[in-house]
A = this chain, B = another copy of it.
């Protein structure tokens, strides 16, 4: 009853410009350590008792080479690399992953996990996954609720209901990103946790629930996998079927409808979605980072490409990111607005700098 990590690495955001972009998004960069965030995610499970040694990778076909290179560099072999011709959100990912695992690894559990998160206490994280396995085995799709450390309005929340066993409870409700007052009330109540977008399940459970609540997603995704062109570990999903797959999140398509939603909470594993440069700075521990010269500065964060040097004179509270020909300077408190740079670049036709 091994847990099969299914590592989702197809997305690309804009708030970590200039390092993260469509061509090489966040997860493939050495943001936090001397390995990429994707490599750190893969290695988190490698050789750990209870986890299958060969993860499943699911991503966009554009990243096939990046994935192969980065897996080779850490000596990990994938069970399969499932490659989408285009993004169809996480419900399609769950469908393809469940279908693949049900065929290739019957009897295992699937663990859908984002590739672009930081986890400061991996042992706590792995213990939680193992502790949630019996509930998943018994037919629950188990999510993981991060213990909130602040009234954050940037995450969805999970409200825990009646206890199933230990820290695993039925889900009482999924909550959209709240306003500040609601987030404060959630934090005070203790019954709400951050939805980390991690799911542990029997593949058969996921397939049954998709069939019940999102049949078009299941049918088209399944057809795309069945018709995939296979090249070594790579499965290139059949484009026409995948294009016909409705785009929806697993939360909306399945979790809000199923009677079998569970949550492990609170999970206190020093988790961060490292969604902004300020968050990256909080957890980064790169060694051999490029040099920085600071003259009379305070509370600044610098992230530079190899071979680039940043000098700061008489400034404070700044984030400076240098990535070759693209340089970002922002106040720490404004790093969530970096996506506006990408928007402006597109509007001005400055595609070379995206």
Contacts and interface: CB of A to CB of B under 8 A. Distances in A.
Interface of A: 17-18, 291, 293, 295-296, 304, 307-315, 318, 320, 322, 325-331, 333-335, 337-338, 340-341, 344-345, 348, 350, 353
Contacts of A341: 293, 295, 311, 313
A141 to B, nearest CB: 39
A325 B291 CA distance: 11
A19 to B, nearest CB: 12
Given A307-B325, A337-B296, A312 B330 contact: yes
B348 A291 contact: yes
B330 A327 contact: no
A88 to B, nearest CB: 31
Contacts of A18: 311
Contacts of A313: 328-331, 334-335, 337-338, 340-341
The 8 closest A-B pairs by CB, nearest first: A314-B334, A313-B330, A311-B341, A309-B353, A314-B331, A308-B325, A295-B340, A310-B327
Contact of A344 (B295, B318, B325): B295
Chain copies in the assembly?
2
A341 B87 CA distance: 46
A327 B327 contact: yes
Contact of A308 (B293, B295, B327): B327
Nearest to A316: B331
Nearest to A17: B311
A335 to B, nearest CB: 8
Given A293-B348, A308-B325, A313-B335, 8 more contacts: A308-B326, A309-B326, A309-B353, A310-B328, A310-B329, A312-B329, A313-B334, A313-B338
Given A293-B345, A329-B318, A334-B296, A309 B350 contact: yes
A207 to B, nearest CB: 44
Contacts of A314: 330-331, 333-334, 337
Contact of A325 (B309, B318, B328, B337): B309
Q: Pick the most buried of A295, A304, A326, A340: most chain B CB atoms within 10 A of its CB.
A: A295
A309 B18 CA distance: 10
Contacts of A330: 312-315
Q: Pick the most buried of A313, A314, A333: most chain B CB atoms within 10 A of its CB.
A: A313
Contacts of A308: 325-327
Contact of A311 (B307, B312, B329): B329
A322 B333 CA distance: 23
Q: Pick the most buried of A311, A330, A341: most chain B CB atoms within 10 A of its CB.
A: A311
Given A337-B295, A344-B295, A320 B329 contact: yes
Nearest to A305: B325
Nearest to A348: B291
B296 A344 contact: no
A329 B331 CA distance: 12
Nearest to A332: B314
A78 B329 CA distance: 43
A5 B331 CA distance: 48
A308 B315 CA distance: 22
Nearest to A343: B295
Contacts of A340: 295, 313
A326 B311 CA distance: 8
